[in-house]
Amino acid sequence: MSDDAFTLAGKTAVITGGASGIGLAIARRFAAHRAAVEIIDLQRAALDAALGELRVAGHDAQGEICDVGDPAAVDDAFARIVARRARVHILVNNAGIAHVGNALTTTPEDFARVQRVNVEGVAHCSRAALRSMKEHGGGVILNMASTLAQFAIPDRFAYATSKGAVLAMTFAIAKDFLADGVRCNAILAGRVHTPFVDSFIAKNYPGREAEMYERLSRAQPIGRMARPDEIAGAALFLCSDEASFITGGAFPVDGGTLTLR
């Protein structure tokens, strides 16, 4: 294996929700491996900051403000990306939102809101990217699913439903576009330490932040949460040519959660 085995040189990678957390870690890793990065995000300040960081580091990075749950907005954003880059080689469907509640405490409105972003957003972005990939001889789609697609924890009714749907879409896309040279896989992430986790703990457990952080960390058999860059490393492999024989797969990056609990 060469030192440049995981190069993404000459490839355009679109990363949704790429201005913060796991998405930003993936954008940094892909840019460092010479991809032309296109970040899609809803937050203007976060997007500007992410693009500024990448450009200062000498990377080729552009972005679009877009609500992934709006199909017309997604089509417009991808049209602009294709106009800039000629084609899309890689799509990472990372944008998503969370919700706490069970089947009785989750309102229909909250349930629909989560599915709109986490499920419909993946479908809209995949559809837009697939048009380019099919026309130009292939590409890679990587979906950020979750261990909750395959096992349950309390009070994640809407979120777990959405991630189960993302996993099913992964298999469907891999099957339907195999002959077009498109690979599609999913990462089943365990709990990852991001600003979202810190804000969730602060909001729901005021005064008990340190205790709850330790409890959530110990819930993974490995004894800690993942770092965003650890998810990014797996994403780089699955989107690189080193994974050219891998499609229709679901890959736990979860500290042993699915198998060692």
Catalytic residues: 159
CA distance 261 to 256: 7
The number of beta carbons lying within 10 Å of the beta carbon of residue 236 is 21
Structure tokens at 187: 């990462």
Residue 62 backbone dihedrals phi, psi, to 5 degrees: -135, 175
Backbone dihedral region of 137: left (phi > 0), alpha (psi from -120 to 50 degrees) or beta?
left
Q: What is the dihedral of CA 12, 245, 254, 13, to 10 degrees?
A: 0
Sign of the torsion formed by the C-alpha atoms of 223, 224, 225 and 229: negative
